[in-house]
Amino acid sequence: MKTADLEVPLSRREAVKRIALLMGGALVGSQVLLRGQAVPDKALPAFDDRDRALLDEIGETIIPGSKAIGIGAFMAMMVTDCYSPAEHAAFSKGMTVLDRARGRGFLDLTPQERTALLNEKDSEQRTQSHFHLKTPHYFKMMKQLAVLGYFSSEVGCTQSLRYIEVPGSFNGDFPYKKGDKAWFS
C-alpha cells in the first residue's frame, strides 16, 4: 500500500472539529486527573502563631539555626499549600503528639530533652514499614521540610553550604579538607 492511498483530504471544517475535540479532551481529561490529586481543603485547621512557634522549635532542634529563617512559617505554608488532607491531618496530629510526649509542652522541654524526643521519633519512623502506610510518618515529613526549608534559604545556601555560581569550570581534583562545608551549585 502506498502512503498516498492512506491520505484522506480534510476539509477545513473537519480539521477545526478535530482540533476542538482534542482541545476539549485535554481540558476535560486534566480535570479528571486532578480529582485524585491533593487540593487544599479549606475545612482543615489553619496553623496559628503557637503552631508556627512549635514548628520553629522543632526545626531548630533538627537543624540549629533554622529558627532564625522562620522555618515554622515555611513548614506551615508547605503543609497547607502542598500536602493532601490526609498528610495535613497526620502532620497536625504529630505536632500534638510531640507537644504532649513528655507530659508537658515541647516548648517547656530543655534542649537535651527535645533532642532525645526527636531522636526517638526519628528511630520510630525509620523502623516502621513504609510500604503499607497511606501517609508518611509525621516526623519524616517534619524532618524533610526542615531540611528543605533551611537549605533552600539564603542563610542555608550561603552560610552552611559553599556556593559556586554556575556555569563554572569543572575541577575534579579540588582539594578537600576534613570539616569543609558541602557544595551547593
Q: What is the pLDDT of residue 82?
A: 93
Q: Which residue has the higher pLDDT, 87 or 6?
A: 87
Q: What is the pLDDT of residue 48?
A: 95
The predicted model scores a pTM of 0.68
Q: What is the pLDDT of residue 185?
A: 54
Would 56 be classed as within a structural domain?
Answer: yes
Q: What is the pLDDT of residue 90?
A: 94
Q: What is the pLDDT of residue 88?
A: 95
Tell me the pLDDT tens digit for each residue of 133-182: 778 999 999 999 999 999 999 888 888 887 666 656 777 777 778 888 77
Q: What is the pLDDT of residue 100?
A: 94
Domain that holds residue 128: 49-163
Q: What is the pLDDT of residue 157?
A: 83
Tell me the pLDDT tens digit for each residue of 51-106: 999 999 999 999 999 999 999 999 999 999 999 999 999 999 999 999 999 999 99
Pairwise CA distance, residues 88 & 90, whole Å: 6
Would 4 be classed as within a structural domain?
Answer: no
Pairwise CA distance, residues 127 & 137, whole Å: 11
Per-residue H/E/C for the chain: CCHHHHCCCCCHHHHHHHHHHHHHHHHHHHHHHHCCCCCCCCCCCCCCHHHHHHHHHHHHHHCCCCHHHCHHHHHHHHHHHHCCHHHHHHHHHHHHHHHHCCCCCHHHCCHHHHHHHHHHHHHHHHHCCCCCCCCCCHHHHHHHHHHHHHHCCHHHHHHHCEECCCCCCCCCCCCCCCCCCCEEC
Would 13 be classed as within a structural domain?
Answer: no
Pairwise CA distance, residues 54 & 71, whole Å: 10
Would 38 be classed as within a structural domain?
Answer: no
Q: Quick one: pLDDT band at residue 50, thresholds 50, 70, 90?
A: very high
Would 5 be classed as within a structural domain?
Answer: no
Would 22 be classed as within a structural domain?
Answer: no
How many structural domains comprise the chain?
A: 1
Does residue 30 carry a pLDDT above 50? no
Q: What is the pLDDT of residue 31?
A: 40
**The total number of residues written for the chain in this structure:** 185
